[in-house]
Amino acid sequence: MAAITALERLKRHASALQARLSVRVDELARARQRTAGRPREQLGAGVGSQIALARMESPHRGGRDLGLAKALVGELPSTLASLERGDISEWRAVLVARETALLDPDTRAAVDERIAGHLASWGDQQTVREVRRRSYAADPGATVARHARAASERRVTLRPAPDTMCYLTALLPATQGVAAYAALLRDAAGARATGDARGKGQVMADTLVERLTGQSAAPDVPVEVEVVMPLDTLLGDDHTPAHLVGYGPLPAAVARRLLRESGAAAWVRRLFVRPDSGQLVAMDSHRRRFDGQLRHFVVLRDQFCRMPWCDAPIRHADHLVPHREDGPTAADNGQGLCEACNYAKEAPGGDLDGDGHLVTIRTPTGSRYRSRAPDPPGTTPGVPSLPWRVEAPGVWSIRARAG
């Protein structure tokens, strides 16, 4: 047990050192960008993404880590000292930073000093309560501003869940969320009272889909769905998983049932893979932007954001070698990225190189990372592709639209 405790303290101490080093990296990057003539409002751009690469995390997490580091080093020295001693976890430091985020630097430092003697003995929930109480007492106006900012951050997100399910999540003001849930609950109770055999949760989920989409029944999805699968999976009983664009792998039987039971017309387009490497065949374009079928191809090939450790949905298809440097608008000079990563790669001093399938990323600090395109959707990793034949034409893209 003593060894476990010692290792935990070591982890916490390492987190504090990472925070100090992250702030130092940010300071050096800003100085370099300032010397290069970058506008003041753009100083620090891309640093969070570099921190993410160094920590082998997603860019979103890297930006959050950098924000925490700057708060601890600059405005919460007592909390940082507790973390450095191993008295508190990194998560508890996050809670302190979060609950004091809207205080001005001097007030924030004062609250930090007042809680210094208690933080090591508080649990997570007590930390939230006590820090929030002291923050409100120190600056009541900041609490009002916090509520206003929270309302401005309302949003809807989608992420995969096990067993071909997903989480559709809405972050809403409390009154709106309670009203929406009460309406779904009321409809579910009414349906159950009239003999509906579905469970309460099933009725609520189906009603949510029907109200959002306007369709009469939840399974009749009237939007374009794209599934990529091998021919044997499509027409036979092969078990090689299919790929639902924007989601990920689907069991073969589920993909076949999805197409069979959708009641939708289907368009089938054949995609070829190279027999030696299994890479999807490239397409070229003389256009400035990746759009149309070329963009569609890049999205199918890359599946999710190509930046290492970032699994965000693809929002931008862009050049490896920039168009301004005569980089062609072609599949082997393109990659799919989320919006944040696409902007981050423009940071001065960094560059990209590769052929689309294997990309080398060099950051302004000189670090190098590699990003390899995933196995083509609808193929089995580790199984070599067969030479091209009419009987084995690769993978198929099926696009279905109801109505």
65-108 pLDDT per residue, tens = 999 999 999 999 999 999 999 999 999 999 999 999 989 999 99
Q: Quick check: is 336 in a domain?
A: yes
Place of tokens 């309560």: 129
pLDDT recorded at residue 135? 92
pLDDT recorded at residue 324? 75
Q: Looking at the structure, do residues 147 and 7 belong to the same domain, yes or no?
A: yes
pLDDT per position as a tens digit, 351-397:
677 666 788 888 887 788 888 877 765 555 554 443 333 333 444 45
| Spatial distance between the Cα atoms of 327 and 320, rounded to a whole number of angstroms | 7
Q: What burial class does residue 384 get, using C-beta atoms within 10 Å of its C-beta: 0-12 exposed, 13-18 middle, 19+ buried?
A: exposed
CA dihedral sign, ordered 77, 80, 86, 88:
positive
| Spatial distance between the Cα atoms of 206 and 217, rounded to a whole number of angstroms | 8
Q: Quick check: is 35 in a domain?
A: yes
pLDDT recorded at residue 398? 47
Q: Looking at the structure, do residues 50 and 127 belong to the same domain, yes or no?
A: yes
Residue type, 288: R
- pLDDT top residue among 163 and 85: 85
pLDDT recorded at residue 336? 86
| Spatial distance between the Cα atoms of 391 and 376, rounded to a whole number of angstroms | 19
Domain boundary among 151, 185, 203: 151
CA dihedral sign, ordered 209, 213, 217, 222:
negative
Q: Quick check: is 283 in a domain?
A: no
Q: Quick check: is 267 in a domain?
A: yes
Q: Looking at the structure, do residues 267 and 333 belong to the same domain, yes or no?
A: no
pLDDT per position as a tens digit, 306-351:
888 887 888 888 887 787 777 787 777 888 888 888 887 777 767 6
Q: Which long-range contacts (CB under 8 A, 24 or more apart) does 167-175 make?
A: 168/208
Banded pLDDT at 403 (limits 50, 70, 90): very low
Q: Looking at the structure, do residues 146 and 179 belong to the same domain, yes or no?
A: no
pLDDT per position as a tens digit, 172-218:
998 899 999 999 999 999 988 888 889 999 999 999 988 887 777 77
Report yes or no: 13 and 314 within 8 Å, Cβ to Cβ. Answer: no
Please give the residue range of the domain that contains residue 203.
Answer: 155-213
| Spatial distance between the Cα atoms of 65 and 17, rounded to a whole number of angstroms | 12
pLDDT recorded at residue 234? 66
Q: Looking at the structure, do residues 9 and 140 belong to the same domain, yes or no?
A: yes
- Quote the crossing angle between the two packed helices 47-55 and 59-75, to the nearest 10°: 110
3-state secondary structure the chain: CHHHHHHHHHHHHHHHHHHHHHHHHHHHHHHHHHHCCCCHHHCCCCHHHHHHHHHCCCHHHHHHHHHHHHHHHHHCHHHHHHHHHCCCCHHHHHHHHHHCCCCCHHHHHHHHHHHCCCHHHCCHHHHHHHHHHHHHHHCHHHHHHHHHHHHHCCEEEEEEECCCEEEEEEECCHHHHHHHHHHHHHHHHHHHHCCCCCCHHHHHHHHHHHHHHCCCCCCCCCCCEEEEEEHHHHHCCCCCCEEECCCEEECHHHHHHHHHHCCEEEEEEEECECCCCCCECCCECCCCCCCHHHHHHHHHHHCCCCCCCCCCCCCEEEECCCHHHCCCCEHHHEEEECHHHHHHCCCCCCEEEECCCEEEEECCCCCEEEEECCCCCCCCCCCCCCCCECCECCEEEEEEEEC
CB contact set of 116 (below 8 Å; sequence gap of 6+): 78, 79, 81, 82
Q: Quick check: is 346 in a domain?
A: yes
Q: Looking at the structure, do residues 330 and 308 belong to the same domain, yes or no?
A: yes
pLDDT recorded at residue 229? 65
Among 24-28, 128-132, 146-150, name the one with the lowest average pLDDT.
146-150
Q: Quick check: is 380 in a domain?
A: no
pLDDT recorded at residue 385? 41
Q: Quick check: is 71 in a domain?
A: yes
Task: Report in angstroms the alpha-carbon separations of 327 from 185, 297, 321, 354, 362.
Answer: 55, 18, 5, 12, 17
Banded pLDDT at 401 (limits 50, 70, 90): very low
pLDDT recorded at residue 103? 92
| Spatial distance between the Cα atoms of 203 and 197, rounded to a whole number of angstroms | 9
pLDDT recorded at residue 245? 67
Q: Looking at the structure, do residues 119 and 260 belong to the same domain, yes or no?
A: no
Q: What burial class does residue 80 get, using C-beta atoms within 10 Å of its C-beta: 0-12 exposed, 13-18 middle, 19+ buried?
A: buried
Q: Looking at the structure, do residues 314 and 180 belong to the same domain, yes or no?
A: no
Q: Quick check: is 104 in a domain?
A: yes
| Spatial distance between the Cα atoms of 345 and 322, rounded to a whole number of angstroms | 11
| Spatial distance between the Cα atoms of 327 and 334, rounded to a whole number of angstroms | 9
Q: Looking at the structure, do residues 270 and 396 belong to the same domain, yes or no?
A: yes
Phi-psi bin for 142: left (phi > 0), alpha (psi -120 to 50), beta?
alpha
Kindly tell me if the per-residue pLDDT of 13 is higher than 60: yes
pLDDT recorded at residue 259? 66
Q: Looking at the structure, do residues 336 and 209 belong to the same domain, yes or no?
A: no
| Spatial distance between the Cα atoms of 171 and 152, rounded to a whole number of angstroms | 10
Q: Looking at the structure, do residues 64 and 77 belong to the same domain, yes or no?
A: yes
Domain boundary among 102, 125, 151: 151
Q: Looking at the structure, do residues 168 and 316 belong to the same domain, yes or no?
A: no
Give the rounded distance of the alpha carbon of 21 from its chain centre: 25
Q: What is the number of structural domains in the chain? A: 4
Domain boundary among 128, 151, 174: 151
* Per-range mean pLDDT, top range of 8-22, 164-178, 256-270: 8-22
pLDDT per position as a tens digit, 210-228:
888 777 777 665 445 566 6
